[in-house]
Amino acid sequence: MSLTIVEVREAAERLGEYDSVIDARSPGEFAEDFLPRAENWPVLDDGERRLVGTLYKQVSALHARKVGAALVARNVAQHIERHVADKPREWRPLVYCWRGGQRSGSLAWFLSQIGFRTQQLAGGYKAFRNLVREDLDVLPVRLEFHVLAGRTGSGKTRLLQALREQGAQVLDLEALACHRGSVLGGLPNQPQPPQKRFDTLLWQALRALDPARPVFVESESQKVGNVRVPDALMLRLREHGRCTVVEMDEAARVELLLQEYGFFAADPERFCRLIDGLVELRGRDTVQHWQRQARAGDWAGVFAEMMREHYDPLYLRSMDRHFRHLAQAPRLALRDGGDESLEAAARELLSQA
């Protein structure tokens, strides 16, 4: 029998050593965010948790604990039957709940009674969330960022991928956010993570980077879809990042956008609904014109006009405001968004890093 309490910083440093990381919270809590590698063994499901909370408030703490204990015992028994039968004696789980209290304590106690070397996270997910927020304030300062700037459709995201394939360190904020960062940036069938989940994914990504090597990242607004990039990272990118401006001629940019956003051809009404959000900026007549083009299948025309009249002016204003030395930044010309051009550009960037 072995049950120990572990502090959050120690647990975070040793996450890879645990055989399992077990989240005893309800599925609803788990969906919002969870520790890396965690699997959900809810000690109380969402409905049961609400029931026990209501009994605490409306009846008494004693009655709520009686009901809660019976529910917990049944659920823990089911988890043990379902998940533990094949576990060897040496299995080492880390168990946590919201605050490191009764839910994780109950599950951890049963596992320790079986004989597993079980650890319970002190402070639970709440302590982990505080650690993530603290680290996101300090981790960016340790890193040297090379920022790829450039207008919409100039191939920055593809260039990041080419850099990664050639062994460079890359921080892909759009991939973490499941969003391309514009009004059209939502990815088909890929909902964005909640903010807390995005923060944890970013925390993992930053911790994995080597401060001794440069990190390539794309210039982004602070909001990437519905999630927000932490202030410390944005400040590091804007004030200390080494910028390279990626350039591509308009025809090649349009072709790249046709490839990246070709899925709208199957659902032009979705495209039209999304750009309704541009009426305030560009006027109803302009937006309705773009909608007519989309419905008529003139995707090259609508993308070209939106680049010139919407995205390029926004980009220039934003970059001039946030990257003070952009005018002196080196330029990198991409012929197109094809593999050959991207590989050559990645090699050039790496030779200069």
Catalytic residues: 97
Residue ranges, the chain, pLDDT below 50: none
Contact, 218 vs 173, CB < 8 A? yes
Output the pLDDT for position 189: 82
Output the pLDDT for position 177: 97
φ and ψ at residue 163, rounded to 5 degrees:
-65, -45
Summarised one tens digit per residue, pLDDT across range 57-104 is 999 989 999 999 999 999 999 999 999 999 999 999 999 999 999 999
Secondary structure of 108-123 in HEC code, one letter for each residue: HHHHHHHCCEEEEECC
CB burial class (10 A; 0-12, 13-18, 19+) of residue 184?
buried
DSSP H or E run through 331: strand 331-333
Q: What's the Cα-to-Cα distance from 163 to each of 139, 188, 214, 267, 323, rounded to whole Å?
A: 22, 25, 11, 33, 23
What residues contact 243, with CB distance under 8 A and at least 6 apart? 146, 147, 148, 149, 219, 323, 325, 326, 329
Output the pLDDT for position 318: 82
How far is residue 295's CA from residue 304's CA, in Å, rounded to a whole number? 16
47-54 long-range contacts, Cβ below 8 Å, gap at least 24?
48/75
Beta bridge partners of 331: 245
Beta bridge partners of 118: 3
Contact, 17 vs 81, CB < 8 A? no
Contact, 290 vs 302, CB < 8 A? yes
Summarised one tens digit per residue, pLDDT across range 171-210 is 999 999 999 988 888 888 889 999 999 999 999 999 999 9
Output the pLDDT for position 241: 92
Beta bridge partners of 242: 146
